[in-house]
Structure 1
Amino acid sequence: MREIFKEIFNRDAAAEASAPGRVNLIGDHTDYAGGFCLPMPLALETRVAMAPAPAFRAHSLDLDETAPFDPAAPARGDWTDYIAGPLAVLRQAGFAVPPVEVLVSSDVPQGAGVSSSAALEVATLRAALDLSGAKLPDMEVARLAQSAENVYCGVQCGILDQMASAVGRPGQALLLDCRSNGTRLVPVPPEFHFAIVHCGEARRLVDGEYNERRRSVEEAARLLGMVSLRDAGPDDLAGISDVRLLKRARHVVSENTRVTAAVAALERRDLRGFGMLMVESHRSLAENFEVSTPVLDRLVDDALEAGAYGARLTGAGFGGCIVALLPAGREVWWKKVSAAHPKAWLVQA
């Protein structure tokens, strides 16, 4: 990165940092309801190099593009927002952020539901903090990254993606309590083999769709007289008469239960129990939360037919990836799945 940085910007990089993408094993659309989720960092990561400069500029090696940006200006609606946003929130937090040039390289696929944006946000924050000689706990880095996405980029995400990228550790799942931001690392037994498969259909996540789901969850909690659906149980849902809000609430309440059950299954090395919970999660995301697509549904069904213990969409939905829990013989499994889905591709196994 340092050699390439000098070639592009004609100066030496003064700081470098990286952050991984993530797969969410179970617990989607629960984070902004103060619920539970169970992500795990990927081996894929985003790398950032940075140095003070006369003006703000960024270069993406993956896009082969250089672009100016300004943390003091409104979001532009492109990839530079995920650099400008973190620098803007650092300034608001009282850190000195001079104009910088930034080099970005990433093998985290964009728009796939594996948190490419969170990885860039966290890596940018880490590099900027290193440049200023400051240190922050990983949890605070995650909080600032979430703030950048909420306030600057306008996506009202919870803190799942940023926590998984900043706090997660390789080979371990991260049980995250999104109300307290409490975390617990849960070792993944060696017989648990997860594959992340892109369905071949670009994620159609429009910020408005995501934000609408969040508003629905918050409205359902308000109707129940609760701060969040984290406080709701199945019996409470009888208080919601609106069919759409009832479905959204039913997913959140049942998904929180599935996350805690999945952690127990992981700790007792129960492959089939964990897989069953993944399937239940996908059905709820498809039928109650309505964030799946026909292509994702078929990919999940065919992953199970090919021998997976469980499979589900991962991330916000609307396209992108599934995660599957596999038995031994992954090569045979993938051969069957890819034959039925020639546009699908293996993100990581």
Structure 2
Amino acid sequence: MAADLPVPTYTNLNEAYPDLVTAAREAARFNDLAIEYTKRFGHPPTHIARAPGRVNLIGEHVDYALFGVLPTAVERDVLIACGKRPEGQIGTGEVRAENLDTKYTPQTFRPDPSNGTWHLPIDKSQLRWESYIKAGYYGVLNQFFDPFQTEGALQPTPVDLLFTGTVPAGSGLSSSAAMVVASTLAFLAVNDKLHKDGQGTRKGELVEMAVENEKRVGVNSGGMDQAASVISLPTSALYISFFPVLHAESILLPITRTVPRAVFVCANSLVVSDKVVGAKTRYNLRVVEVLVAARILARLLSLSFISGAPASKPTLREVLGAYINARIHIPGSEVLETNEVRGQASPALSVEQLEDGLGRLLGECEVLRASKLVGRVGGEEGLTMEEMVEASGLSKEIIIPHPLHSQSVEATHFQLYKRAKHVFSEALRVLQFRKLCLSVSGSSEEGDLPESTLKDLGALMDASQESCSELFECSCPELNRLTTIAREAGAYGSRLTGAGWGGCTVSLVAENDVEGFISRVKAAYPPYRDLEGERLSEVIFATKPSGGAFGTAIS
């Protein structure tokens, strides 16, 4: 499995990139960064860590419900040159961090070991670039270094870091995950922790560290962004599933075999989308709504694990598994999928069984409508906190526990029906997208694939955008307008990508029409009309699937 492979460390970039042209272009970036690092800090870097951004092709806001997603890494990335501070310079574990982008001011900070744990203050109330560096540092400190300062115990080395990146911040291409992954990787490398006992750090281990690290910034991530940034392979998407354990399956995208060939075009709406800043009314609120919808649905369907665990908060994926087990006979199933969190087992579900179960539950989730739950006729479809507490059988303190405490979620009504319907329908679209890719890429016939393959993929992307806008309400007027313009400009399909509420769209576009497509979008989308050259290419650009994170050792 891809997650079991070690995180690669290269000494030659020809090994890291799929073709010599790309390798030569990136070698110039790496070399320029190393030269600038030496100028600023007075000593050369020992490593450069690279982590790409990602574009989610389909599967929005379903990862924290433990349903599968289909992202791919993009060619744009974050690079961090790093090196140990020369001996004699004070500051155990002290970090000096600078950025080639002058809008990010230099930072110096040092971890504080006290009361048996490491402390690095992170201000969650505002977006600060060093917060992501500290988040990456935390995981390495907690896993490898003794906060009790025991005599003879290894201590973190003083580190100098120099950042650069091409992933637009707040664009929905997961610049935050790229920053945290790259930072975690850099601290592992510079502290000689990438390899232990002759074994390299596994990609899955880096994903798990990065997920926990990003939570320290105030975002409760499901793991999709980090997995895509770490595990992705060129020319492929990742089908990432989270239940019963994290699993990543490389799915070859058919876009290199179709006539015409196709690429993905990312277009920034120029509406900044930051998970941390809008968490209370957006991202974290949706996490609460999805979890409570699962709890109430399980209760209404009389699923056994709810009656046996009165404070249980299952995910919608767990509800699906229990529903299929209770309602649908699976003959001859001897393999069990075990929920490691709850210690339960249920018959292992095939993709076909998941598809069938999702179709059935889409009808069942009608019971979550306010008219069904509380008898409200017309008007507001959501539930108040008091109505939600009564319907779920949970206290307010259990519904919104730490870290999603009451001060981090703001809502007068919770839209449980809409959120559940989106999650189930979006999870089904992911499986359909995956099936289509596998059916054509696995074909024994050689030669080109018809354009209808692109139209079918695009139709699923369009349906996803409609659901994100109408049911999950994570789109915005600019994203709706930009996806509409993209379709009118010739895209096979277009949808928002990332958390939403701003950020980027992703469109499937014929490779031979990219220049014309971008020109038509520029003319129709008002914020682009005065942009030319590099300024335009920063906000709308074509990308092919990229490989995941890696480190380079500099001799």
Q: Which residue of 2 aligns with 1:292?
A: 475
Q: Is 1:35 the equivalent of 2:67?
A: yes
- Say whether the 8 Å CA contact 2:429–2:464 is kept in structure 1: yes
Structure 1: how far apart are the matches of 2:106 and 2:541? Answer: 27
Q: Is 1:66 the equivalent of 2:250?
A: no
Structure 2: how far apart are the matches of 1:154 and 1:204? Answer: 11
Q: Which amino acid aligns with 2:540?
A: L
Structure 2: how far apart are the matches of 1:38 and 1:69? Answer: 37
- Say whether the 8 Å CA contact 2:211–2:221 is kept in structure 1: yes
Q: Which residue of 2 aligns with 1:124?
A: 183
Structure 2: how far apart are the matches of 1:75 and 1:184? Answer: 34
Q: Paired residue for 1:279, among 437, 442, 462?
A: 462
Matches for 1:46-195 after TM superposition, within 5 Å? 46-53=78-85, 54=91, 55-62=94-101, 63=103, 65-71=105-111, 72-76=119-123, 77=126, 78-95=128-145, 97-135=156-194, 136-150=201-215, 152-179=216-243, 180-189=245-254, 190=256, 191-195=261-265
Question: After the TM superposition, which of the residue ranges 260-269 and 166-175 deviates more from structure 2?
Answer: 260-269
Q: Which residue of 1 aligns with 2:20?
A: none
Structure 2: how far apart are the matches of 1:259 and 1:56? Answer: 41
- Say whether the 8 Å CA contact 1:223–1:239 is kept in structure 2: no
Q: Is 1:235 the equivalent of 2:363?
A: yes
Structure 1: how far apart are the matches of 2:486 and 2:46? Answer: 46
Residues 31-63 of structure 1 deviation map (CA, whole Å, 9 limit, x = unaligned)? 111011100111111111222333322101123
- Cα distance change of structure 1 residues 157 and 22 upon mapping to structure 2, 3 Å threshold: same
Residues 1-26 of structure 1 deviation map (CA, whole Å, 9 limit, x = unaligned)? 22211211223323221111111000
Matches for 1:213-224 after TM superposition, within 5 Å? 213-224=286-297
Q: Which amino acid aligns with 1:87?
A: Y
- Say whether the 8 Å CA contact 2:139–2:184 is kept in structure 1: no
- Say whether the 8 Å CA contact 2:104–2:129 is kept in structure 1: no
Shift of residue 170, structure 1, vs aligned partner: 2.2
Structure 1: how far apart are the matches of 2:520 and 2:177? Answer: 32
Structure 2: how far apart are the matches of 1:117 and 1:310? Answer: 26
Structure 2: how far apart are the matches of 1:204 and 1:106? Answer: 17
Structure 2: how far apart are the matches of 1:28 and 1:69? Answer: 36
Shift of residue 241, structure 1, vs aligned partner: 3.3
Q: Which runs of 5+ in 2 are unaligned?
A: 1-32, 86-90, 112-118, 146-154, 195-200, 299-312, 321-360, 371-380, 382-414, 441-448, 529-538, 544-555
Q: Is 1:247 the equivalent of 2:418?
A: yes
Q: Paired residue for 1:21, among 30, 53, 57?
A: 53
Structure 2: how far apart are the matches of 1:238 and 1:341? Answer: 38
Q: Which residue of 1 aligns with 2:494?
A: 311
Q: Paired residue for 2:279, among 207, 228, 238?
A: 207
**Secondary structure of the corresponding residue to residue 312 of structure 1:** strand
Structure 1: how far apart are the matches of 2:262 and 2:64? Answer: 28
Question: After the TM superposition, which of the residue ranges 274-283 and 95-104 deviates more from structure 2?
Answer: 95-104
Q: Which amino acid aligns with 1:247?
A: K
- Say whether the 8 Å CA contact 1:45–1:108 is kept in structure 2: yes
Q: Which residue of 1 aligns with 2:397?
A: none
**Secondary structure of the corresponding residue to residue 80 of structure 1:** helix
Shift of residue 70, structure 1, vs aligned partner: 4.1
Structure 2: how far apart are the matches of 1:147 and 1:195? Answer: 30
RMSD: 1.7
TM-score (ref. length: structure 2): 0.60
Q: Which amino acid aligns with 1:256?
A: A
- Say whether the 8 Å CA contact 2:60–2:69 is kept in structure 1: yes
Residues 65-108 of structure 1 deviation map (CA, whole Å, 9 limit, x = unaligned)? 21123452221341111111111111112345333221111011
Shift of residue 192, structure 1, vs aligned partner: 3.1
- Say whether the 8 Å CA contact 2:207–2:230 is kept in structure 1: yes
Residues 159-182 of structure 1 deviation map (CA, whole Å, 9 limit, x = unaligned)? 010000011122210110022211
- Say whether the 8 Å CA contact 1:37–1:259 is kept in structure 2: yes
Structure 1: how far apart are the matches of 2:68 and 2:424? Answer: 10
Structure 1: how far apart are the matches of 2:156 and 2:364? Answer: 48
Question: After the TM superposition, which of the residue ranges 305-314 and 95-104 deviates more from structure 2?
Answer: 95-104
- Say whether the 8 Å CA contact 1:302–1:340 is kept in structure 2: yes
Residues 246-270 of structure 1 deviation map (CA, whole Å, 9 limit, x = unaligned)? 0011111111000010112223262
Structure 2: how far apart are the matches of 1:237 and 1:4? Answer: 57
Structure 2: how far apart are the matches of 1:271 and 1:192? Answer: 8
* Rg larger in structure: 2
**Secondary structure of the corresponding residue to residue 69 of structure 2:** strand
Shift of residue 293, structure 1, vs aligned partner: 0.6
Question: After the TM superposition, which of the residue ranges 47-56 and 36-45 deviates more from structure 2?
Answer: 47-56
Shift of residue 64, structure 1, vs aligned partner: 5.1
Q: Which runs of 5+ in 1 are unaligned?
A: none
Shift of residue 221, structure 1, vs aligned partner: 0.9
Identity over aligned pairs, percent: 34
- Cα distance change of structure 1 residues 347 and 332 upon mapping to structure 2, 3 Å threshold: closer
Structure 2: how far apart are the matches of 1:56 and 1:332? Answer: 46
